Amino acid sequence: MSQAREFDVVIWGASGFTGRLVAEYLYKKYGVDQEVKWAMAGRNQTKLERVRDQVADREVPLILADSHDEASLLEMSGRTKVICTTVGPYGKYGSKLVAACVAQKTDYCDLCGEVPWMRQMIDQHHETARANGTKIVHTCGFDSIPSDMGVYFVQKEAMAQTGQPAQEINMRVRSFSGGVSGGTLASLSDSVEKAYKDKEQFRTLIDPYGLNPTDYRSGPDGRDLQAVVYDEASDGWIYPFIMAGINTKVVRRSNALAGFPYGRNFRYDEATMSGPGVSGRLKGIAAAVPLGIVAGAKPGSLLKKTIDAVLPKPGEGPSQSARENGYYNLRFYTTLADGSKALGKVTGDMDPGYGSTAKMMGEAAVCLAQDELPETAGVLTPAVAMGDALLHRLETNAGLTFDYQAD
Ligand SMILES: NC(=O)c1ccc[n+]([C@@H]2O[C@H](COP(=O)([O-])OP(=O)(O)OC[C@H]3O[C@@H](n4cnc5c(N)ncnc54)[C@H](OP(=O)(O)O)[C@@H]3O)[C@@H](O)[C@H]2O)c1
């Protein structure tokens, strides 16, 4: 994005649970109208003003735009270098905004984890965005920045050490603390409901290469883990990681879009560690069963309605203390080209879904607006869109650490 624009970044959805956290982060980190020119946007002036008073100050400009009003989306995206959107479910509210950003050549980032919708955006907009130089970047939160940038980092280290990319990485969530928002649950429900109704969407959801460019939709990886199993890589029991279905596809898309720097036969998977021995196995089962029930409950069923009644509603999410006391610790068990082992680590200093996500999202948006970036365009991944510049911002500003040690 090279044209002069009034703003660097506009946060659309700033009145929602996560959008307000991104606004609060930008305000605390960059102030108003200084190094970063930014604005808050949403569909309701009164609500926006109230949130602005709570997290920033009256100097922050406000913009009104509604997902059903294309003219408002075109107008908003024409005023800024980057649109940073937290208006979800994206499959419900996001398509016209992506089209508007591509039409206006405005770079874009979101927190989407809805695989079938991202597939649609790739099919509809990748070629046009690639040709006109626009970066459309989904998954700029906990899914999938730590995974995508973690693999990017580990592969860089492996290349520097051995001259060849690692042949396999098994990402394991060692520990984490955090909660979930109503908006995230609404997005999960929307994805599951659509997959129930539409076989094509279901196929995309379960296809390990469901986000790859059309010509590269096969490879050595199979479906994500569905059970509690013993894991040689981490020498303990593991169970399914709820974000694996998104993150693994994003990492594979990064590899394909960049021309396979990790190799054509690169293998990647994700799971959550529950520890060694009988207690590790039991812990895995105790964690996996409720996860399966929440994620897989049939839309419209009594079970689904009961679950929805007790979980957070749109606009609600984890408390400030849960966010501030949260963290995550990810391990990247790595097999190098010569068969030897290495270990990558990525940590975050707040809860994954909101505190850390708000910082990652804010930094991704500023990175798109201001940094020297790879000359890539299209519907991209964080690693392919921003590469080293994002890595630097995550370590310097967003509370993430990246570490690599050979055995
Ligand atoms: N990937 C990750 O790590 C991650 C982490 C957190 C969140 N997320 C995703 O981020 C999204 C937002 O989550 P959340 O918890 O912040 O949700 P939320 O609190 O429900 O906020 C949704 C926002 O969308 C706005 N909105 C709804 N309909 C709109 C429309 N027609 N036009 C314009 N704006 C509209 C709402 O405006 P009003 O305030 O006016 O209602 C609100 O600002 C979800 O899709 C969630 O899955 C992802």
pLDDT (tens digit, 9 = 90+) per residue, 30-85?
Answer: 999 999 999 999 999 999 999 999 999 999 999 999 999 999 999 999 999 999 99
Are residues 162 and 386 in contact, defined by beta-carbon separation less than 8 angstroms?
Answer: no
> Mean pLDDT, to the nearest integer, of 243-271?
97
Q: How far is the CA of 13 from the centre of ligand 1 (A)?
A: 6
> Mean pLDDT, to the nearest integer, of 139-153?
97
Angle between helices 95-104 and 70-78 (to 10 degrees): 40
DSSP at 65: -
Residue 245: count other Cβ atoms within 10 Å of its Cβ.
22
Q: Please enumerate in sequence order all residues whose Cβ is within 8 A of that of 282, keeping only pairs 6 or more positions apart, or say none.
A: none
Does 180 have pLDDT greater than 90? no
pLDDT (tens digit, 9 = 90+) per residue, 200-225?
Answer: 888 999 999 999 999 999 999 999 99
| 132 in the same domain as 156 | no
76: CATH: 3.40.50.720
| 29 in the same domain as 156 | no
Ligand 1 atom closest to residue 67's alpha carbon, by position in its atom list = 32
| 370 in the same domain as 347 | no
Residue 2's pLDDT band, with cuts at 50, 70 and 90, is very low
| 298 in the same domain as 272 | yes
Query: Does some domain include residue 2?
Result: no
Q: How far is the CA of 64 from the centre of ligand 1 (A)?
A: 15
Check if 143 has its Cβ closer than 6 Å to any atom of ligand 1. Answer: yes
Check if 315 has its Cβ closer than 6 Å to any atom of ligand 1. Answer: yes
Residue that has been written with the tokens 């200084």 in this structure:
34
Check if 13 has its Cβ closer than 6 Å to any atom of ligand 1. Answer: yes
Compute the distance between CA of residue 128 and CA of residue 383 in angstroms, rounded to an integer: 20
| 150 in the same domain as 122 | no
Ligand 1 atom closest to residue 316's alpha carbon, by position in its atom list = 19
**For the chain, how many structural domains are there in total?**
2
Q: How far is the CA of 16 from the centre of ligand 1 (A)?
A: 5
Calculated CA dihedral for residues 167, 169, 170, 175, nearest 10 degrees? 160
Does 22 have pLDDT greater than 90? yes
Query: Does some domain include residue 63?
Result: yes
- Cα dihedral 305, 308, 309, 310 sign: positive
Considering only residues 207 and 307, tell me which one the structure prediction assigns the higher pLDDT. Answer: 207
What's the mean pLDDT when you consider all of the chain? 94
Q: In which domain, by residue range, is 185 found?
A: 145-352+399-406
Q: Which of 11, 15, 72, 139 to mutate to test the pocket of ligand 1 (most atoms within 8 A of CB)?
A: 15
Are residues 81 and 55 in contact, defined by beta-carbon separation less than 8 angstroms?
Answer: no
| pTM of the predicted structure, to 2 decimals | 0.95
Compute the distance between CA of residue 245 and CA of residue 305 in angstroms, rounded to an integer: 24
Check if 75 has its Cβ closer than 6 Å to any atom of ligand 1. Answer: no
Check if 292 has its Cβ closer than 6 Å to any atom of ligand 1. Answer: no
Query: Does some domain include residue 190?
Result: yes
Ligand 1 atom closest to residue 89's alpha carbon, by position in its atom list = 45
Q: Which of 85, 101, 91 is nearest to 41 (CA)?
A: 85
Q: Which of 21, 70, 87 to mutate to test the pocket of ligand 1 (most atoms within 8 A of CB)?
A: 87
Check if 318 has its Cβ closer than 6 Å to any atom of ligand 1. Answer: no
